[in-house]
C-alpha cells in the first residue's frame, strides 16, 4: 500500500472516530434547578409525578433532530411544555426528559439546551 494512502486512511479513521465521539458527548451547559423559572420547576415536578399534563403533546417522543443532545435510540427522549406567561399556545420553552432520569431545559425551542442539576 502506498504511504500516502495509508496516511489518508489513518487520518480518515481518526477524524471519523473523533466526530462520532463528539456527537455522543455533546457539550451541554448546566442549570441549577433553583435558577429555572417557576413554571419549569412545576413542569419537572409533573414529569416526575407522572402528570397530569396541561398540553396534549406533553410526553411525545423528542427525536433530537437538531442533535444538540447526546444521541440515543428513538424513543429515549420525551418532551414537555413549560408554560410561558403571556404566550398564546405552547410557547418556546420545553423540558426534555431522558429515560435515565436526566432532564434538559430549553427556552428557545430546541436551539440550545441546559441540563438540569437538581
**Pick the catalytic residue: 39, 100, 109, 118?**
109
What ranges in 1-118 are assigned the alpha helix state H? 3-24, 38-49
User: Is 88 an active-site residue?
Assistant: no
The Cα–Cα gap between 55 and 81 comes to: 7
Strand partners, 114: 29, 105
User: Is 24 an active-site residue?
Assistant: no
**Residue 71, all three cell numbers:** 444521541
**Pick the catalytic residue: 66, 79, 88, 118?**
79
- Active-site residues, by number, are 79, 109
Amino acid at each position: 500500500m502506498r504511504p500516502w494512502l495509508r496516511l489518508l486512511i489513518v487520518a480518515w479513521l481518526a477524524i471519523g472516530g473523533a466526530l462520532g465521539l463528539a456527537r455522543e458527548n455533546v457539550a451541554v451547559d448546566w442549570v441549577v434547578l433553583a435558577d429555572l423559572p417557576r413554571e419549569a420547576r412545576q413542569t419537572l415536578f409533573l414529569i416526575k409525578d407522572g402528570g397530569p399534563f396541561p398540553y396534549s403533546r406533553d410526553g411525545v417522543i423528542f427525536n433530537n433532530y437538531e442533535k444538540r443532545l447526546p444521541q440515543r435510540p428513538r424513543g429515549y427522549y420525551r418532551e414537555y411544555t413549560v408554560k410561558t406567561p403571556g404566550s398564546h399556545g405552547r410557547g418556546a420553552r420545553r423540558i426534555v426528559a431522558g429515560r435515565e432520569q436526566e432532564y434538559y431545559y430549553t427556552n428557545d425551542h430546541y436551539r440550545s439546551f441546559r441540563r438540569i442539576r437538581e
